[in-house]
Amino acid sequence: MKCLIIAAGQGTRLQSQGEVKPLVKVLGVPLIERVIRSAITGGVDEFYVVTGYEGAQVACFLDKLAQRLNISITTLQNNGWQKENGTSVLTARDSITDPFLLLMSDHLFDPAIIQTLQQQSLADGQVLLAVDTNKSNPLIDMTDVTKVHVKDGCITNIGKFVNDYNAFDTGIFLCTPAIFSALDQAANMHNNPTLSDAILVLAANNQAKAVPIKEFWIDVDNTKAYHKAETTLLSALRDKKNDGPVSHYLNRPISISISKILVKFKISSNQISFFSFLFSMIAAGLFAVGNYWLLALGGLLAQFASIIDGCDGEVARLKYLSSDYGGWFDAVLDRYADAFLLFGLTWYVYSQNTSPLVLAIGFLAIIGSFMLSYTSDKYDNLMRNHIKKSIRMGRDIRVFLIFLGAISNQAYIVLILIALVMNVETIRRIFIYRNEQ
């Protein structure tokens, strides 16, 4: 599917975040790249981008992005970029002759919106516009949003100054080439036509249809909207279904704040995973020294490492760096970290109490932790729709118990608790999985 993206404007209201609006970074990724990646997820495989202000700079970035993502991006320069957005759309008239998706370079959105549009019937000469019917949407700037009146699925009026409205223009269109003819007609009435003018032309013939959506979208047109977009994207990271209670309520809010800073630097998610591992190794070394104050410091470092361990996935998702290798690499380092932390804790307890029972309990704690991690994939897939109904035993709880045992100087009790809980939970999972087969 082809997609036309309008990226010609200067964006003076967003200049505090960057001189060239399409290249303004939201959590480490330029606006236009976020739009293109969302479109790809929605099913687009060929892009046309209309540039204008600092067009050469935008085109240079897009050329590199096309190579990086192995996609087709054709840039079209609009020398009249100071005019309304209708002029930018007309720039693509000779390049696109089939139905196409039309997007704005500063509108972030859920790819599901594109999929919803594609599921609709698009007749020849029609244009479909995704509209937001939530009039209390907190992400909408009421002073600038384009308002729409919809009746029986048809758009009857559209514009920034429409008083009688029941929806908002998301800036996400599924168009036939009729949009170009409509812009020509609009130009006869308005020397400098907007997209809304063209939609009104089509609406006069019942050819402008509205498709209600409920998914996330935001027009990042000013500094306030920019911060709202950041907040919304960060909040979405909290919805990881397999998070345990410690991750969800303690680690995740802190790690998200750290990730917000990390995305501004050239640091990979794998490097973050390794840093988390190093903190765990230092913590394990402090445990083994046999001094309470170092034990407590080690506990703090272990918990901090657990928090940082959430940042690798968050940064990967925010910067589109997720990979199967990255997830596997993180899991391998976590297993090593768990083994060293529990061994260090066992060493500390054994230095205080040389009973062979301590070594046996330490071994059970380590093997129970490994087996719990080993069974997690099958268990999580099996219980995907039920995990929120009960407490998920995972690494977050294990490390938090280590932290509590270290700062309270109750390392032996915690070792016993981990050995018991991890192994009992593993056995419980085995029976649950067997009964579901």
The arithmetic mean of pLDDT across residues 384-413, rounded, is: 82
What mean pLDDT comes out for the span 99-113? Answer: 96
Q: Give the rounded percent of residues in the chain with a pLDDT score beyond 90.
A: 84
Give tens-digit pLDDT for 248-304: 899 999 999 999 999 999 999 999 999 999 999 999 999 999 899 999 999 999 999
Those residues whose C-beta lies under 8 Å from the C-beta of residue 376, and which sit 6 or more positions away, are 242, 394
Count helices and strands in the chain by DSSP H and E runs: 16, 13
pLDDT of residue 102: 97
pLDDT surpassing 80 at residue 385:
no
> Which pLDDT value is given to residue 384?
55
Rounded mean pLDDT, 154-176: 95
- Asked if residue 182 has pLDDT above 70, the reply is yes
How far apart are alpha carbons 101 and 5 in whole angstroms? 8
Phi then psi dihedrals of residue 35, to 5 deg: -65, -45
Quote the pLDDT of residue 240.
Answer: 75
Nearest to 394 by CA among 426, 417, 363: 426
The pLDDT of residue 390 is 57
* Average pLDDT, integer, range 12-29: 93
Residues 276-289 pLDDT 10s? 999 999 999 999 99
What angle in degrees, to the nearest 10, is found between the helix axes of 411-436 and 356-374?
A: 40
Name the pLDDT band for 134 (thresholds 50, 70, 90).
Answer: very high
Mean pLDDT across 189-211 = 93
Question: Given a cut of 90, is residue 114 above it in pLDDT?
Answer: yes
Provide the pLDDT for residue 388: 47
The whole-number average pLDDT for the span 410-427 is 94
Burial 390-409 (b: 16+ CB within 10 A, else e): eebbbbbbbbbbbbebbbee
| Average pLDDT along the chain | 92
Q: Where are the domains of the chain?
A: 2-221, 240-436
- CA 202 → CA 153, 308, 338, distances in Å? 14, 53, 63
Task: Mean pLDDT check: name the lowest of 75-79, 157-161, 238-242, 315-319.
Answer: 238-242
**How far is it, in rounded angstroms, from Cα 375 to Cα 431?**
12
Write down the pLDDT at residue 382.
61
> Which CATH architecture is the domain 240-436 placed in?
Up-down Bundle (1.20)
Question: Which numeric CATH code is attached to 2-221?
Answer: 3.90.550.10
- Predicted confidence at residue 391, as pLDDT, reads 65
- pLDDT range class, residue 122, cuts 50, 70, 90: very high
Q: Where are the alpha helices (DSSP H) in 119-161?
A: none
Closest among 153, 149, 172 to 162, alpha carbons compared: 149
How many Å apart are CA 226 and CA 26, to the nearest integer?
Answer: 7
* Signed CA dihedral, 426, 431, 435, 437: sign only: positive
- Mean of the pLDDT values across residues 131-148? 94
What are the two backbone dihedrals, phi and then psi, of residue 230, each rounded to the nearest 5 degrees? -60, -50
Q: What is the pLDDT of residue 387?
A: 46
d(CA 229, CA 235): 10
The answer on pLDDT for 410 being more than 90 is: yes
Per-residue model confidence as pLDDT tens digits over 203-250: 999 999 999 999 999 999 999 999 999 999 999 998 777 788 899 899
Give the pair of three-digit tokens for residue 235: 């909040």
Task: Point out which residues pair with 211 in neighbouring strands.
Answer: 130
